[in-house]
Amino acid sequence: MAGFALNKRKAGWWKEAVFYQIYPKSFQDTDGDGFGDLKGIISRLDYLEELGIDGIWLSPVFQSPQADNGYDISDYCAIDPMFGTMQDMQELIDQAKRRGISIIMDLVLNHSSDEHRWFREALKSRDNPYHDYYVWRDGEENCPPNDMKAVFGGSAWTYVPHLGQYYFHQFLDKQPDLNWENENLRQELYKAIRFWVDKGVEGFRLDVIDQIAKEPDQKITANGPRLHEFLRELSREAFGEEGIVTVGETWSADVPRAQVFSAPDGSELSMVFQFEHICLDQQAGGEKWDIAPLSLPKLKDCFCRWQQGLHGQGWNSLFMDNHDLPRIVSRWGDDGKYRVQSAKMLATMLHGMQGTPYIYQGEELGMTNIRLKLEEYVDPEIHNMYAERTQRGMDPHDVMQSIWARGRDNARTPMQWSDEPYAGFSNGKPWLPVNENYRQINARQELGDPDSVFRYYQKLIRLRKTYPVFRDGDFTLLCPEDERIFAYIRSTQDQKLLVVCNFTDREVAFEIPDAFAHAKQILGNYPDAGDGLRPYEAKMLLWEE
Ligand code: GLC
Evaluate: CB of 23 within 6 angstroms of ligand 1.
Answer: no
Of 94, 106, 107, the C-alpha closest to 41 is 94
CA gap 211, 71 in Å, rounded: 15
Tell me the catalytic residues. Answer: 207, 249
Q: Which amino acid is at 88?
A: D
* Mean pLDDT in residue range 220-248: 94
Residue 198: which residues within 8 A CB-CB, separation 6 or more?
none
Mutational pocket test of ligand 1: of 64, 116, 324, 409, the residue with most ligand atoms within 8 Å of the beta carbon: 324
Evaluate: CB of 319 within 6 angstroms of ligand 1.
Answer: no
CA gap 490, 522 in Å, rounded: 14
Say how many Å lie between the CA of residue 406 and the centre of ligand 1. Answer: 15
Give the least confident one: 45-49, 149-153, 221-225, 476-480.
Answer: 149-153
| Interval 311-365: pLDDT, tens | 999 999 999 999 999 999 999 999 999 999 999 999 999 999 999 999 999 999 9
Question: Which atom belonging to ligand 1 lies closest to the Cα atom of 108?
Answer: 12
Strand extents, DSSP E, 428-519: 474-478, 485-491, 495-502
The pLDDT value given to residue 416? 98
Q: Are strands 538-544 and 62-63 parallel, antiparallel or unpaired?
A: unpaired
Tell me the average pLDDT of the chain: 96
Report pTM: 0.96
Say how many Å lie between the CA of residue 151 and the centre of ligand 1. Answer: 10
Buried/exposed 422-444: b ≥16 CB within 10 Å, e otherwise: bbbbbeeebbbbbbeebeebbbe
The pLDDT > 90 percentage for the chain reads 96
* Mean pLDDT in residue range 187-201: 96
Complete DSSP assignment for 141-187: TTB-SS--B-TTSSBSEEEETTTTEEEE-SS-TTSPBB-TT-HHHHH
The pLDDT > 70 percentage for the chain reads 98
* Mean pLDDT in residue range 12-28: 97
| Interval 357-414: pLDDT, tens | 999 999 999 999 999 999 999 999 999 999 999 999 999 999 999 999 999 999 999 9
CA angle 522, 461, 496 (to 5 degrees): 40
Q: By CB neighbour count within 10 A (0-12 exposed, 13-18 middle, 19+ buried), where does 55 fall?
A: buried
Evaluate: CB of 68 within 6 angstroms of ligand 1.
Answer: yes
Question: Which atom belonging to ligand 1 lies closest to the Cα atom of 71?
Answer: 12
Residue 7 has pLDDT above 60, yes or no: no
* Contact in structure between 95 and 42 (CB atoms under 8 Å): yes
The pLDDT value given to residue 9? 85
The pLDDT value given to residue 1? 32
Evaluate: CB of 80 within 6 angstroms of ligand 1.
Answer: no
| Residue 376 CB neighbour total at 10 angstroms | 11
Q: How far is CA 379 from CA 34, 246, 382, 407, 425, in A?
A: 16, 27, 6, 8, 20
Higher pLDDT among residues 414 and 243, named by residue: 414
Say how many Å lie between the CA of residue 72 and the centre of ligand 1. Answer: 9
Q: Are strands 520-524 and 485-491 parallel, antiparallel or unpaired?
A: unpaired
Evaluate: CB of 71 within 6 angstroms of ligand 1.
Answer: yes
pLDDT band at 5 (very low <50, low <70, confident <90, very high): very low
CA gap 98, 96 in Å, rounded: 5
CA atoms within 13 A on the CB side of 457: 31
pLDDT band at 466 (very low <50, low <70, confident <90, very high): very high
| Interval 115-166: pLDDT, tens | 999 999 999 999 999 999 999 999 999 999 999 999 988 999 999 999 999 9
Evaluate: CB of 335 within 6 angstroms of ligand 1.
Answer: no
Query: Dihedrals φ, ψ of 58, to 5°?
Result: -100, 115
| Residue 493 CB neighbour total at 10 angstroms | 10
